C-alpha cells in the first residue's frame, strides 16, 4: 500500500503536529477543521512552535488547509485519513460517517484517540469499513516523540496494518508498535500507572516532591522531570481527565483503580488554576520576589510552597540495586515503586500484548525511560527480585518465572522492528573495553563506541575510549537520548577550583589529539548523532570522516555562552569548511568573518536542514528520519569503505591583523549597543584571535596543528578568568547562560 496523500481532520495540538511531521517526511497533507480560519491559524502556530515541529520551515506551504464543509472532497484522493478531533465519541462518529462516504476504496482511516477503544469508535461502521479502520496513537510533540501505537482488533486487515506500520517506521521515523485494543494501550497504561504509584507512594512515605523526583528520575533511568515535574509538564488538569477515563474503562478490580483515586491536594491545585507549567504553576512554581525568580516546591502535607531543596542521592548512573538496597526512605520508596510497576506490567501479559518486550520499548519510546519494567526486573536479577517480592497472585508471568528462576528470561530486544538497531546489536557484540565514561564494542570487523555519562558529557575517559577504538573502522553512536552535550563542565571546573590549570590543558590537548586522530587515522570513523550535539560533541562529530545524523538534532558550537572558545578543533574545522567556498576563494576574510558570527553568537541548528547552511553538516552527510536506523545506515557506509583514504590535512591562508581588526569593529558595535558586556568583548577578542590565524599574514600557510594551538591558547586564557568561571558555575547551577 502506497501512502502518497494524507488528510487530517482536526487541526489542534495533535492534528497540526501530525501534519507538520508528514510535511517533514515530504508527504502532501491537508488539514481540515470546522473552519478554514481555525486550520489556517493552526498552520501559523506550527511555524512558531518551540521546539520547532517542522524540520524545514520553508516547506510550510506543503501543508494545505481547509474546512470540513467546503473542502471535504480532498478525502476522495487520500490514501490515509487521520481523525484528530476532540475526544468526543458523538463528534468522532459523525466524522467517520462522512469520511467513509467520501474515501476511496481501501484508504486507511485512523483515529488519534488516547482513550476510546476501537470497538466503540467503529461500532457504527460496516464490516468492510472496519477492516480499514484502526487507531494511530501519536504522542505530543509528534516530531520528537519516538512512539507510535497502532491499535488493531480482530476486524482488521492485518496486511494493511502492517504496511501502515512500515510506512510510519520508514517514512515518518516512528517506533511503531502494534498493540491490542485495551484501555490506554501500552505506553499510557504502564506510564500513567507508574506516575500514579510514584505519586501515591510519595504521599504514603512522606517524601517531599523533590525527594520523590530525585529517586523516580535519573537513578531509575527515568527523565529528570521525575513524577511531579512531569505532572506539571503534562498539565495537572489533563492528567486528571486521563485518570477519570482509566477509572471508567478499567475493571473494578484492576490495581490501577487503587492509585487513580482523587487526591484532595491535586483537586485543589486544579480548582485554583495551578494546572502546571501552562497555568500559575503546579507542584513546582516560579515565584518572583524582589525581582528574583525562585523555584518553589509544594509541601504535600500543608499545600504551602517553599524554595526547592536540591537532593543529592550520590548516584550518578542508573543502578537499581544500589537504589533499592539503601537502608533509608529513598531505598524503601524506590523498591516500593519499582516492584509495583513490575508487578502491574507483568500482570497485563498477554492481555495488552503477548510480547512483554513491547511494553519495555513503549516505555523507552513514549516516556524516554532508559529501561522498561521487564528490563528493570532483569537488572535487579530474578533471584534477587523473588527474594524480596511478597504476593503476586493472579500473575501468571511472575508465577512461571518464579518456577524457572531463569535469569536469562529476557531474550532479544526491540522485537517490534526489523531494523538492525544498536539496541539489538549490543548484546551480540563483544565488549572490548569500558571505562567510567564510555563502552567499546567490537561487532563484525568494526568497533562501536557508546558514551555512557550523563547527557554523554565528554571527559578524558571519553577521549581515551575513542582513541583506543580506532584500530578498526569505528562508529560513535549512543542509545541514550543525546549524542553529547559537550565537554563535562563539572569535570573542568573541579580542576579550575583547585587552580589545577595544567590538568585542564592536558585534557584539552588530549581532546585535540583524539579528534585529529579520528579524522586522519587509517580507518573510517563515523559519528551517528541524535539529540544534543553541542560544543565538544559537535567537534567529535565534524572531525569524524562521515556523519549519519538523525534529523532531530540540536547542533552548535556554544562555548562562547560559557565564556570559552571551541578548542577541540571546532573553530578550525568549521573555518576550513567555509574556506572551501567560492566566496572564500575571492576574499580571504570571507570565511573567518562568517565563522566569527556563527560561533560568536553560539548559533545552534535544530535540525539537519538548519545544520547544513552553517556547514556543521555537509551535503554528503546522511540524514535519517528514524533514529533506530542510525546504526544500520552507518554499518552500510562502513561496508562501502574498502578503499578508504583519510582526508588531506587542512591548510589556511589567513590575514591575521587585517581580519582581526574587522572583527574587533564588530565587537565594538555590539558593545556600544549593549548586546555584549565586558567579558563578552574579551571572549570575542579571543575568538577573533583564533579565527584570524593570530600573528600571521595571508601568504603564510597554517595547518591543523597551528589552529589547534591557537584554540588551546585562547581557551586556557579564558578558563583562568573569574568571569568565565562565573559563567560556567551559573550555567551548571541554572542551565542558563550568564551575560557578564
Ligand atoms: P485539540 O482540542 O487541541 O484539537 C481538536 C481540534 O478538533 C480543534 O481544532 C477543533 O476545532 C477540532 N474539531 C472539533 N470538532 C470538529 C469537527 N467536527 N470537525 C473538524 N474539526 C473539529 O485536541 P488534541 O489535543 O489535538 O486531541 C485530538 C485527539 O488526539 C483527541 O482524540 C485526543 O484524545 C488525542 N490525543 C491527544 C494528545 C495530546 O497530548 N493532546 C496525545 C495523544 C492523543
The per-residue pLDDT for range 382-417, each reduced to its tens digit, is 999 999 998 898 899 999 999 999 999 999 999 999
Domain of residue 659: give its range. 569-601+649-740
Per cent of the chain over pLDDT 70 is 100
Confirm whether 321 is domain-assigned: yes
Together in a domain, 480 and 394: no
pLDDT-derived band at 166, boundaries 50, 70, 90: very high
Together in a domain, 434 and 394: no
pLDDT of 421 strictly over 90? yes
List the grid coordinates of 128.
468492510
Nearest CA among 570, 504, 508 for reference residue 541: 570
Count CA atoms closer than 13 A to 680's CA, side-chain side: 21
CB burial of residue 404 (10 Å; 0-12, 13-18, 19+): exposed
Q: Is the CB of 238 under 6 A from ligand 1?
A: no
CATH number of domain containing 70: 3.40.50.720
User: Mean pLDDT, to the nearest integer, of 83-104?
Assistant: 97
Q: Is the CB of 112 under 6 A from ligand 1?
A: yes
CA gap 725, 497 in Å, rounded: 9
Query: Who contacts 55 (Cβ-Cβ below 8 Å, separation ≥6)?
Result: 24, 143, 551, 552, 607, 608, 609
Residue 208 CA from chain centroid, whole number: 28
Together in a domain, 17 and 82: yes
CB burial of residue 447 (10 Å; 0-12, 13-18, 19+): buried
The pLDDT assigned to 511 comes to 98
The pLDDT tens digits for 456-496 are 999 999 999 999 999 999 999 999 999 999 999 999 999 99
C-alpha pair distances (Å), 504 with each of 190, 363, 708, 725:
45, 39, 15, 13
Rounded to the nearest whole angstrom, what is the distance from the C-alpha of residue 12 to the centroid of ligand 1? 5
CA gap 396, 387 in Å, rounded: 18
pLDDT-derived band at 148, boundaries 50, 70, 90: very high
Rounded to the nearest whole angstrom, what is the distance from the C-alpha of residue 136 to the centroid of ligand 1? 13
Total domain count for the chain?
Answer: 4
Provide the mean pLDDT of the chain.
96
Together in a domain, 583 and 611: no
Together in a domain, 378 and 399: yes
The pLDDT assigned to 734 comes to 83
Together in a domain, 307 and 388: yes
Instruction: Check if the beta carbon of residue 242 is closer than 8 Å to that of residue 256.
Output: no
Confirm whether 413 is domain-assigned: no
Confirm whether 322 is domain-assigned: yes
Instruction: Check if the beta carbon of residue 625 is closer than 8 Å to that of residue 168.
Output: no
The pLDDT assigned to 256 comes to 97
Q: What is the residue-wise DSSP string for 169-194? A: HHTT--EEEEE-S-TTTTHHHHHHHH
CA angle 338, 424, 344 (to 5 degrees): 25
Confirm whether 415 is domain-assigned: no
Together in a domain, 620 and 653: no
Q: Is the CB of 12 under 6 A from ligand 1?
A: yes
User: Mean pLDDT, to the nearest integer, of 47-56?
Assistant: 94
Rounded to the nearest whole angstrom, what is the distance from the C-alpha of residue 557 to the centroid of ligand 1? 39
Confirm whether 563 is domain-assigned: no
The pLDDT assigned to 221 comes to 93
Q: Is the CB of 9 under 6 A from ligand 1?
A: yes
Together in a domain, 269 and 201: yes
Domain boundary, last residue among 350, 369, 404: 404
Q: How many CB atoms lie within 10 A of CB 90?
A: 7
The pLDDT assigned to 620 comes to 96
The pLDDT tens digits for 638-683 are 999 999 999 999 999 999 999 999 999 999 999 999 999 999 999 9
The pLDDT assigned to 292 comes to 85
Confirm whether 429 is domain-assigned: yes
Domain boundary, last residue among 647, 680, 714: 647
CA gap 347, 249 in Å, rounded: 17
Q: Is the CB of 15 under 6 A from ligand 1?
A: yes
Together in a domain, 489 and 634: yes
Confirm whether 131 is domain-assigned: yes
Coil/strand/helix, residue 259? helix
Q: Is the CB of 89 under 6 A from ligand 1?
A: no
pLDDT of 604 strictly over 80? yes
The pLDDT assigned to 562 comes to 97
Per cent of the chain over pLDDT 90 is 95
The pLDDT assigned to 736 comes to 87
Together in a domain, 26 and 128: yes
DSSP state of 350: T
Nearest CA among 56, 18, 181 for reference residue 611: 56
Best mutation site among 7, 13, 136, 183 for ligand 1 pocket (most ligand atoms within 8 Å of CB): 13
The pLDDT tens digits for 691-716 are 999 999 999 999 999 999 999 999 99
pLDDT of 1 strictly over 80? no
List the grid coordinates of 412.
532479544
User: Mean pLDDT, to the nearest integer, of 582-589?
Assistant: 97
Residue nearest atom 35 of ligand 1, based on CA coordinates: 113
Rounded to the nearest whole angstrom, what is the distance from the C-alpha of residue 464 to the centroid of ligand 1? 50
The pLDDT assigned to 318 comes to 87
Rounded to the nearest whole angstrom, what is the distance from the C-alpha of residue 91 to the centroid of ligand 1? 11
Confirm whether 411 is domain-assigned: no
| Per-state percent for the chain, helix, strand, coil, to nearest 5 | 50, 15, 40
CATH number of domain containing 467: 3.90.226.10
CATH number of domain containing 356: 1.10.1040.50
Instruction: Check if the beta carbon of residue 333 is closer than 8 Å to that of residue 212.
Output: yes
User: Mean pLDDT, to the nearest integer, of 188-197?
Assistant: 98
Burial 482-504 (b: 16+ CB within 10 A, else e): bbbbbbbbebbbebbeeeeeeeb
For 230, phi and psi rounded to 5 degrees? Answer: -70, -40
CB burial of residue 250 (10 Å; 0-12, 13-18, 19+): middle
The pLDDT assigned to 158 comes to 94
Together in a domain, 203 and 319: yes
The pLDDT assigned to 222 comes to 95
Together in a domain, 660 and 699: yes
User: Mean pLDDT, to the nearest integer, of 590-599?
Assistant: 98
Best mutation site among 35, 74, 86, 235 for ligand 1 pocket (most ligand atoms within 8 Å of CB): 86
pLDDT-derived band at 197, boundaries 50, 70, 90: very high
The pLDDT assigned to 314 comes to 87
Rounded to the nearest whole angstrom, what is the distance from the C-alpha of residue 241 to the centroid of ligand 1? 14
Strand (E) or helix (H) holding 705: helix 704-719
The pLDDT tens digits for 528-540 are 999 999 999 999 9
Least confidently predicted of 93-97, 275-279, 551-555: 275-279
How many residues are present in the chain? 740
The pLDDT assigned to 463 comes to 98
Amino acid at each position: 500500500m502506497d501512502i502518497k496523500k494524507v488528510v487530517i481532520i482536526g487541526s489542534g495540538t495533535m492534528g497540526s503536529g501530525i501534519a507538520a511531521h508528514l510535511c517533514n517526511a515530504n508527504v502532501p497533507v491537508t488539514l481540515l477543521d470546522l473552519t478554514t480560519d481555525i486550520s489556517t491559524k493552526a498552520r501559523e502556530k506550527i511555524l512558531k512552535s518551540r521546539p520547532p515541529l517542522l524540520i524545514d520551515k520553508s516547506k510550510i506551504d506543503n501543508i494545505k488547509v481547509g474546512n470540513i464543509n467546503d473542502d471535504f472532497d480532498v478525502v476522495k484522493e487520500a490514501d490515509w485519513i487521520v481523525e484528530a478531533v476532540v475526544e468526543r465519541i458523538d463528534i468522532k462518529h459523525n466524522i467517520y460517517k462522512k469520511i467513509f462516504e467520501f474515501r476511496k476504496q481501501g484508504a486507511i482511516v485512523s483515529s488519534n484517540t488516547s482513550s476510546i477503544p476501537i470497538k466503540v469508535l467503529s461500532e457504527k461502521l460496516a464490516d468492510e469499513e472496519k477492516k480499514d479502520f484502526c487507531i494511530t496513537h501519536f504522542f505530543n510533540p509528534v516530531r520528537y516523540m519516538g512512539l507510535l501505537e497502532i491499535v488493531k482488533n480482530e476486524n482488521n486487515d492485518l496486511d494493511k496494518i502492517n504496511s501502515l506500520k512500515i510506512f510510519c517506521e520508514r517514512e515518518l521515523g516512528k517506533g511503531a508498535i502494534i498493540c491490542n485494543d485495551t484501555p490506554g494501550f501500552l505506553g499510557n497504561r504502564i506510564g500513567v500507572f507508574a506516575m500514579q504509584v510514584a505519586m501515591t507512594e510519595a504521599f504514603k512515605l512522606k517524601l517531599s516532591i523533590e525527594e520523590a523526583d530525585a529517586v523516580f528520575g535519573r537513578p531509575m533511568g527515568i527523565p529528570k522531570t521525575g513524577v511531579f515535574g512531569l505532572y506539571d509538564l503534562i498539565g495537572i488538569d489533563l492528567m486528571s481527565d486521563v485518570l477519570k477515563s482509566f477509572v471508567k474503562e478499567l475493571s473494578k478490580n484492576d490495581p490501577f483503580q487503587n492509585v487513580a483515586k482523587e487526591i484532595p491536594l491535586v483537586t485543589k491545585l486544579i480548582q485554583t488554576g495551578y494546572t502546571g507549567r501552562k497555568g500559575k504553576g503546579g507542584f513546582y512554581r516560579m515565584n518572583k520576589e524582589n525581582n528574583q525568580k525562585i523555584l518553589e516546591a509544594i509541601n504535600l502535607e500543608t499545600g504551602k510552597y517553599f524554595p526547592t531543596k536540591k537532593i543529592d542521592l550520590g548516584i550518578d548512573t542508573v543502578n537499581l540495586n544500589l537504589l533499592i538496597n539503601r537502608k533509608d526512605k529513598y531505598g524503601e520508596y524506590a523498591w516500593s515503586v519499582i516492584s509495583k510497576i513490575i508487578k502491574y506490567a507483568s500482570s497485563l501479559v498477554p492481555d495488552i500484548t503477548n510480547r512483554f518486550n513491547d511494553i519495555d520499548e513503549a516505555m523507552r519510546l513514549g516516556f524516554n525511560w532508559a529501561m522498561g519494567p521487564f528490563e528493570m526486573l532483569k537488572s535487579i536479577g530474578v533471584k534477587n527480585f523473588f527474594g524480596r517480592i511478597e504476593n503476586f497472585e493472579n500473575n501468571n508471568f511472575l508465577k512461571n518465572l518464579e518456577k524457572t528462576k531463569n535469569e536469562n528470561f529476557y531474550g532479544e530486544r526491540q522485537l517490534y522492528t526489523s531494523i538492525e538497531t544498536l539496541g539489538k546489536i549490543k548484546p551480540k557484540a563483544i565488549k572490548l573495553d569500558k571505562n567510567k565514561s564510555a563502552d567499546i564494542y567490537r561487532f563484525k570487523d568494526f568497533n562501536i563506541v557508546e558514551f555512557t555519562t550523563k547527557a554523554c558529557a565528554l571527559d578524558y575517559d571519553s577521549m581515551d575510549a575513542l582513541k583506543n577504538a580506532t584500530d578498526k573502522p569505528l562508529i560513535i553512536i549512543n542509545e541514550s537520548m543525546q549524542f553529547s552535550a559537550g565537554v563535562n563542565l563539572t569535570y573542568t571546573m573541579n580542576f579550575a577550583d583547585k587552580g589545577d590549570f595544567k590538568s585542564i590543558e592536558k585534557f584539552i590537548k588530549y581532546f585535540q589529539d583524539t579528534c585529529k586522530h579520528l579524522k586522519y587515522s587509517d580507518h573510517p570513523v563515523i559519528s551517528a548523532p541524535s539529540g544534543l550535539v553541542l560544543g565538544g560533541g559537535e567537534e567529535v562529530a565534524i572531525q569524524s570522516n562521515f556523519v549519519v545524523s538523525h534529523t532531530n538534532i540540536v547542533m552548535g558550537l556554544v562555548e562562547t555562552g560559557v565564556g570559552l572558545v571551541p578548542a577541540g578543533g571546532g573553530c578550525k574545522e568549521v573555518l576550513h569548511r567555509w574556506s572551501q567556498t567560492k566566496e572564500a576563494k575571492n576574499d580571504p576574510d570571507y570565511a573567518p568573518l562568517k565563522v566569527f558570527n556563527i560561533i560568536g553568537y553560539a548559533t545552534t541548528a535544530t535540525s539537519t536542514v538548519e545544520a547544513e547552511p552553517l556547514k556543521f553538516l555537509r551535503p554528503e552527510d546522511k540524514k535519517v528520519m528514524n533514529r533506530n536506523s542510525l546504526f544500520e545506515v552507518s554499518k552500510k557506509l562502513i561496508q562501502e569503505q574498502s578503499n578508504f583514504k583519510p582526508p588531506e590535512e587542512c591548510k589556511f591562508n589567513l590575514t591575521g591583523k587585517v581580519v582581526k581588526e574587522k572583527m574587533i569593529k564588530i565587537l565594538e558595535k555590539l558593545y556600544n549597543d549593549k548586546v555584549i558586556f565586558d567579558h563578552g568583548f574579551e571572549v570575542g577578542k579571543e575568538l577573533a584571535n583564533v579565527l584570524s590565524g593570530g600573528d600571521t599574514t595571508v601568504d603564510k600557510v597554517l595547518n591543523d596543528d597551528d589552529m589547534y594551538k591557537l584554540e588551546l591558547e585562547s581557551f586556557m586564557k579564558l578558563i583562568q578568568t573569574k568571569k568565565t568561571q562565573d559563567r560556567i558555575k551559573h550555567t551548571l547551577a541554572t542551565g542558563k547562560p550568564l551575560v557578564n
